[in-house]
Amino acid sequence: MSTPVESSLWGRLDDPAADAGYADHPKRKGFFTDTSVCIGCKACEVACKEWNQVPDDGFLLTGMSYDNSQQLGASTWRHVAFVEKPIDVPAPVDLGMPTIGSEDQGAVSGDAGVRWLMSSDVCKHCTHAACLDVCPTGALFRTEFGTVVVQPDVCNGCGYCVPACPYGVIDLRKEDGRAFKCTLCYDRLKDDQTPACAQACPTESIQFGDLDELHERADRRLAELHEKGVDVARLYGRDPEDGVGGDGAFFLLLDEPEVYGLPPDPVVTTRDIGSIWKHVGAAAGALVAVGVASFLGRRR
């Protein structure tokens, strides 16, 4: 078990399970999603829905490429984004993934001049999770694996967690008003099983394991792509010094985060709550002092 280290961002432990009170716990688990080998098959979406009994969210094409689910939500815990990006000169690159027929499913595929970017998005299971900070009922809790889970039977549907999430992951289900999101298959983790989405991924684009090991694997993959000339490749959510203390689910991207619908610089929305309340307290004290002085002045 790794030794917790103080975080320079908030003065809290960068071992979220230990910070949550688990004295003895497994290594932190997470996802590394390598978008360079995603083929957009949506097997992860289907597996997630089947295992977690997540209701369907519609089957009609939206006019946004082949993306029928559009974004993460209460009934979409895994979302495969399809991004069609025009380019001037197609330049196929071997990214080391399986081939389908005679086509190289690399950085560029499909019609000439169109670059296909695909990525399976999911809850980031932040190191410092704002949703946990604002939940008034304890419906959201940190597990011994360092992940963040919603307990629907405890959720009162207040919705505070929805705007608190810097990634727009959490959503309220219209049918009953409660919050839902990815649990990283908490029930499977307790039985030492791989989450359903990673288990179903045919290209191993979604990789599951100990987070520190995934970090090393991602670093090697990034170096490999850079050696092949794929300079646009970058890691997203890997840095423990970013605005959320690093993510439990991080990504290798082939373009800017905004292209995939991800915020470029996510910041935990509750970071300044402590200082805000200090200022509020000081302001309230000043108002009380002014009121008392005014009252005493009238008495005189």
φ/ψ of residue 180, rounded to 5: -145, 150
Give per-residue pLDDT as tens, 23-52: 899 999 999 999 999 999 999 999 999 999
Question: Quick one: pLDDT at residue 269?
Answer: 86
CA angle 51, 244, 38 (to 5 degrees): 45
**Greater confidence, 18 or 274?**
18
Q: Tell me, what's the pLDDT at 265? A: 92
For residue 287, the model assigns a pLDDT of: 63
Q: Which two tokens stand for residue 102?
A: 């005679």
Question: Is the pLDDT at 107 greater than 50, yes or no?
Answer: no
- Identity of residue 236: Y
What whole-number distance in Å separates Cα of residue 58 and Cα of residue 48? Answer: 15
* CA distances from residue 205 to 15, 25, 199, 233 in whole angstroms, order as listed: 26, 27, 11, 15
pLDDT at 118 over 50: yes
- Span 229-243, mean pLDDT? 94
Q: What is the pTM of this model?
A: 0.80
- Stronger pLDDT, 277 or 267, i.e. the higher one: 267
Q: Rounded to an integer, what distance in angstroms lies between the CA atom of residue 8 and that of residue 265?
A: 18
Considering only 189-193, 212-216, 271-275, which range has the smallest mean pLDDT?
Answer: 271-275
Q: What is the pLDDT of residue 195?
A: 98
Contact 45, 80 (CB under 8 A): yes
Q: What's the pLDDT tens digit per position in 137-195?
A: 999 999 999 999 999 999 999 999 999 999 999 999 988 899 999 999 999 999 999 99
More confident residue, 126 or 286: 126
pLDDT digits (tens, 9 = 90+) for 64-90: 567 777 889 999 999 998 888 877 544
* Percentage of the chain lying above the pLDDT 90 cut: 63
Q: What is the arithmetic mean of pLDDT over 127-138?
A: 94
